[in-house]
Chain A
Amino acid sequence: MDAEAAKLIGAGLAAIGAGVAALGVGNVFGSFLESALRNPGAADGQQGRLFIGFAAAELLGLLAFVVAMILIFVA
């Protein structure tokens, strides 16, 4: 396998990370909604924490994207 093909396969594998981050983001919003429906009064106060969790989960997916981009365009 030549180096170019290996890079592209690596970039494709990095896309798995984006998919797993989708699980993480879905989990953040899903759990929030679940508990917000149990206690709607407390939900609005937790919106900041919701987005902190979202940002943390999303960042890891975006890192997978960065890895793919580096493999395709830089390495």
Chain B
Amino acid sequence: MAEPGKIDPMHQFAIEPLFGTEQLAVGGYNIAFTNSALWMVITVVVLWVFMLGGMKRDLVPGRWQAAVESMTGFIAKLTDDNIGKGGRKYVPYIFSLFMFILFANLLGLLPIGIFGLHPFTFTSHFTVTGVLAILSFSIVLIVGFWKHGLHFFSLFVPQGTPLWLIWLIPIIEFVSFMVRPFSLGLRLFVAMIAGHILLKVLAGFVINASAAGVVPGLGVGIPSFALMVGISALEILVAGIQAYVFALLTSLYIHDAEHLH
């Protein structure tokens, strides 16, 4: 019987410098070109190609143009529904955010491991999703204070608050407001990391079971593999839902800044 291999599901999230840039530094900070950065570049390039291929102005859209138009229309509807008046000027930001996260999630699921390449899901790192969340949160703060000045603080006292609760509600509202960037970034990164760990653990089951002989190979390996196929489909769904939820919550928070409840 073969020695069971050790399953290391966390190795896929390791950040490694590429192309010999380990020592590259500016002002004491290491700026090595990592696999995370490489996949960000790949995501941007794929997104660019997708958009340039479809940004024609044909009266009767072809397939590609229809695909791009359905995405922009989807986000435009999202902002119309959730921000309402004055929401259209946020479409570029929310569209970029949505497409970037969506493409990153989907590219990270590419089964190119069979060619010996390793896709890296950079949305599975809190540094990345946290920065995206802070970006959204800063827009909320800047727009809120720009438009309403100090009146923006009335966000913490919803209309119709009973007088005897006036000491408690602002505290709760303040905490829930300040938690937003964390929950926004945390949700995306944990959903991505959990799905990828699950897939790696199941893949380890398949490999170890088939290495252990015919009976465990058939009894454990094949059911695990079937489960992997199902979970992969679920992961594609999760990749879409998480990108959508990120865009949706961002537009909701911007609604608060634009209209104060």
Residues of A within 8 A of B212 (CB): none
Are B252 and A58 in contact (CB-based, < 8 A)? no
Residues of A within 8 A of B171 (CB): none
Residues of A within 8 A of B257 (CB): none
Q: How many A-B residue pairs have CB under 8 A?
A: 36
Interchain CB contact (< 8 A) of B191 among A48, A62, A69: A62
Asked whether any CB of chain A lies closer than 8 Å to the CB of B186, the reply is yes
Residues of B within 8 A of A51 (CB): 241, 244-245, 248
Provide the bound-state CA to CA distance between A33 and B129, in Å. 31
Are A55 and B191 in contact (CB-based, < 8 A)? no
Decide if the interface of chain A is mainly helix, strand, loop or mixed. Answer: helix
Are A59 and B194 in contact (CB-based, < 8 A)? no
Asked whether any CB of chain A lies closer than 8 Å to the CB of B127, the reply is no
Give the size category of A's interface with B: 10 to 19
Are B248 and A48 in contact (CB-based, < 8 A)? yes
Given contacts A54-B245, A58-B191, A65-B194, A48 and B186 within 8 Å (CB-CB): no
Are B183 and A73 in contact (CB-based, < 8 A)? no
The listed residue with most B CB atoms (<10 A of its CB), out of A45, A51, A55, is A55
Provide the bound-state CA to CA distance between A48 and B183, in Å. 18
Interchain CB contact (< 8 A) of A55 among B10, B81, B82, B187: B187
Provide the bound-state CA to CA distance between A45 and B187, in Å. 24
Interchain CB contact (< 8 A) of A59 among B78, B187, B252: B187
A15 shortest CB reach to chain B, Å: 11
Residues of A within 8 A of B252 (CB): 52
Residues of A within 8 A of B207 (CB): none
Provide the bound-state CA to CA distance between A33 and B197, in Å. 31
Query: 8 Å CB contacts to B: which residues of A34-75?
Result: 45, 48, 51-52, 54-55, 58-59, 62-63, 65-66, 69, 73
Asked whether any CB of chain A lies closer than 8 Å to the CB of B249, the reply is yes
Give the size category of B's interface with A: 10 to 19
Are A55 and B245 in contact (CB-based, < 8 A)? yes
B23 shortest CB reach to chain A, Å: 28
Residues of B within 8 A of A48 (CB): 78, 81-82, 248
Are A59 and B186 in contact (CB-based, < 8 A)? yes
Query: 8 Å CB contacts to A: which residues of B81-107?
Result: 81-82
Asked whether any CB of chain A lies closer than 8 Å to the CB of B190, the reply is yes
Residues of B within 8 A of A59 (CB): 183, 186-187
Given contacts A59-B183, A73-B10, A52 and B190 within 8 Å (CB-CB): no
Residue pairs across A and B with Cβ atoms less than 8 A apart, 12 shown, are A51-B241, A52-B252, A54-B241, A54-B245, A58-B191, A59-B186, A62-B186, A63-B186, A65-B190, A65-B194, A66-B186, A69-B193
Further pairs besides A52-B252, A62-B191, A63-B190: 13, Cβ < 8 Å: A48-B78, A48-B82, A51-B244, A51-B245, A51-B248, A54-B241, A55-B187, A58-B191, A59-B186, A59-B187, A62-B186, A62-B194, A69-B193
